[in-house]
Amino acid sequence: MKRVQAVIRPERFDDVQAALQAAGFSGLMVHDVRGHGAEGTPTGEYRGVAFSMTVRHKLLIDILVDDEEVEVVCTTIKAAASQGNPGDGMIMLLDVEGVIPFR
């Protein structure tokens, strides 16, 4: 079992979620995260003083899938979230030793 963690731009979330749903993956977790990667540091201006926006708002999507489903999920997310620009996001794959669901 794998934990697929995808960092995406917040504005791509609707598309990514719809694509995953269409591909048959309905369960996911979403986290609000802040960070920065390859996209560089934009400069803001507040009352005449410049400041750098070093961290930006992103979403982190968490999905648990079986090993054979990993490729489909990754392709789906990438296709829906990528716009061809730096800072679009990335996908991390983590091994999951087991899941203990409860209700």
Bridge partners of residue 63, in order along the sequence: 4
- Per rule CB under 8 A, count of chain residues that contact other proteins: 17
Q: Does 101 bind other proteins (CB under 8 A)?
A: no
DSSP strand pairing (29-35 vs 56-65): antiparallel
Whether 89 and 9 have beta carbons less than 8 Å apart is answered as yes
To which residue do tokens 């990528």 refer? Answer: 82
Work out whether 102 is an interface residue with other proteins (CB under 8 A): no
CB atoms within 10 A of CB 67: 11
Binding of other proteins by 100 (CB under 8 A) = yes
Q: Is residue 47 within the footprint of other proteins (CB under 8 A)?
A: yes
Which tokens in the block code for residue 84? 């061809």
**The binder of other proteins chosen from 38, 97, 101, 103 (CB under 8 A):** 97
Q: CB nearer to other proteins: give 18 or 55.
A: 55
SS3 48: coil
Q: Which of 48, 84, 86, 101 lies at the binding interface for other proteins (CB under 8 A)?
A: 48
Instruction: List residues near other proteins by CB under 8 A.
Output: 34, 44-55, 96-98, 100
